[in-house]
Structures are given as C-alpha cells and as structure tokens.
Amino acid sequence: MYPSVSLGVVTLDDLRVFVAVCRAGSLSAVARDLACTQSAVSQHVKRLERETGVSLLERQPRGVVPTQAGRVLEAAAAEGIAGLDLALRRLRELVDGESGSVRVATGATTVRHFMSDAVVAFRQQHPRVSLEFRTESSSRGCFDALADSELDLAWITLGAPVRGIEQRPVVDLPWVLAVRADDPLASRPSVDAAELQDVRLIRLPPNSTSAAHLDEACAELGVRFTFDTSVADWDTALLLAELGLGRAVVPDLPGLPVAGDRGDLRLVPLPALRPLSVGWAVRRWDALSPLARAFADMVTEKCRRTPGLQ
C-alpha cells in the first residue's frame, strides 16, 4: 500500500522554491534571488513538510541539504516543473504563431562554427521569431541550463547519459594537430598520435567533455599527452598555435578556412584518434515546439552538408 500524502494546499511556487533551495543549499541565497525574506522562503518549505508529513531539509553548518525524502521530491518536482514550463511555452507559441522564440544554450564557439549559415537561413524564413543564445562554458553547463530554464535546445559534446535529457548526435569531428606554418610537422599529410607523447601541448579545458573524450581516445591507443598550457575554448587553442606559442590537438571545426588559406596556421590530421561527436540535447524531442524543431533540423542539415563532416 502506498503512503497517504495530501498535497491539497501546496502551490507550484512552493515546489519551485523548494527545488531552488535544494540546488543553492541555502535559504538566504534563494531569498536574495527572489527578493523576499528568508522567512518567506522557509514558509514554502514548511508547507511542503506539513503536507507530506516528512522532513525535507537538513540543516548543516554551511547551509541546508535535502534529506532522502527531500531528494525524491526535488527530482520529481524539477522534472514536473520543467515539463509544465515547456507546455506553457508551447501554448504561448500557439497563440503567437510565427512571432514566438527559440532559446538555445551553446558553447563559446558554437554559433560561429556550427550555426552561422543556419541562423541566417532561419531568420530569412522566420523573420518574426526571436532567436536567443545563452553561452555556457561546458556541456555540463548546457545540461544544467536546459534542465533549469525555458531553454529549448543545447548544442553539446556528446557524453554520458544525463537523467531527463535526450542527446542526439549530428556530426563527428576528426582530431587535428594545429601548428604554425613553419613548424616541422606542418607539411606532414598526417601525424600518428604516438609521435606526440613527448611533445608538450596546449590543453583543452580540463573539465570539458571534449577533453575527457580526447583522453579516452588516447587511452584506447595506449597514448598519453602532456600539456604546459590550458585554454578555455577551441578558438583560443587555434590562435595560440597560429602565433607559434604551442601545438594543440583540437577538433577540425567546420567554418575553418581550407588548406592554403589559413595564414600561419596548419591543421595536420590525426586519423588514429576516435572522432568527437557533437550535436543536440533537449528535454524531450517529441515536446519541442515546431519553431525549435525547425531550427534544430536546419542546423543539422547545414552541418551535414559541410565537406568532411558526417
């Protein structure tokens, strides 16, 4: 028999505030964000505890954490709120028609390398639709933004499954060695990854999914790279290589100039390394608005038409 729990007087605001407290780990932080008193935040939580009959938060020296029961409620409430927010947006877009919006979470270099042509084409076809881009520093940040807000789509480096998020690959990016044109390796048709074991390289963001993928691809070959410089994004790694300040192993990004037009930069293929998969993440594909689906499909089509990508 299931326990009898009444949620008759619980409001959606109670659940929103409770989820926010669980994630912030602080009643006062949520009160500041909501521009209300800590007592008001506490009342939302107390109402939930009163209705469920269980303790949902545990006080600790530096804040609060959800109890076991609190974690159960937080997961269910977060998923339900995200679904409801999405449904409300869909209803608004049905009313607004072609004057709706598409909200996308991206990395720092995503729009330039993967979406520029699609953005232009989408704007021409849907001139009244608002395109909104939210820049995140990592795929993990994109997942969090997608789960916590009204975002429609996130462009990510595909990784391990994430609860409540669907991932869909679009293209595979081969790895290349970025070097200055006068580098001894610049004229090579390709380089074996093993040749770079004793070469100090420019590192991709250490906590990024792409860096983890590169480490795994190297481990499959029994290779381990060493690094003496770290950057925040792929474009910075390419710039440093072009300036002769190091060599970088990076994905061969669409939108880069073709061979011979790169100025002082050369990209030498590393064919033995397993390619990096990038693509879309959404809460639910079947719940995407028609406008968001149209934008996602347009980006996918443009990427797959790019020479050298699959």
Of 230, 228, 225, the C-alpha closest to 207 is 230
Is 2 a member of any domain?
no
The pLDDT, as a whole number, for residue 260 is 43
CB 193 within 8 A of CB 272: yes
Is 7 a member of any domain?
no
Q: Are residues 131 and 210 in the same domain?
A: no
The pLDDT, as a whole number, for residue 93 is 61
The pLDDT, as a whole number, for residue 300 is 94
DSSP E strands, the chain: 57-60, 63-66, 101-106, 130-135, 153-157, 166-173, 175-180, 200-203, 226-230, 247-251, 265-269, 276-282
Residues in the chain: 310
82-117: pLDDT as tens digits: 777 767 766 666 565 555 789 999 876 788 889 989
> Going edge to edge, which strands form the sheet with 166-173?
130-135, 101-106, 153-157, 276-282, 166-173
CA 38 – CA 215 distance, rounded (Å):
45
User: What is the CA angle 84-85-91, rounded to 5?
Assistant: 90
CA 168 – CA 269 distance, rounded (Å):
26
Is 6 a member of any domain?
no
CB 136 within 8 A of CB 208: no
Q: What pTM value is reported for the model?
A: 0.67
In total, how many domains does the chain have?
3
Alpha carbon distances (Å) from 146 to 21, 72, 73, 106: 18, 20, 20, 10
Q: Are residues 208 and 222 in the same domain?
A: yes
The pLDDT, as a whole number, for residue 136 is 83
The pLDDT, as a whole number, for residue 206 is 72
Is 5 a member of any domain?
no
Alpha carbon distances (Å) from 1 to 4, 48, 55, 77: 9, 22, 21, 22
The first and second tokens of residue 111, run together, are 């729009």
Report, as ranges of residue numbers, the positions in the chain whose pLDDT lies below 50: 1-6, 258-261
The pLDDT, as a whole number, for residue 151 is 87
Residue 104 DSSP code: E
The pLDDT, as a whole number, for residue 107 is 77
The pLDDT, as a whole number, for residue 223 is 93
Is 269 a member of any domain?
yes
Is 119 a member of any domain?
yes
User: Final residue of a domain: which of 79, 109, 133?
Assistant: 79
Domain of residue 188: give its range: 175-274
12-41: pLDDT as tens digits: 888 989 999 998 899 999 999 888 999 999
The torsion angles phi and psi of 217, rounded to 5 degrees, stand at -65, -40
CATH for 39: 1.10.10.10
CATH for 161: 3.40.190.10
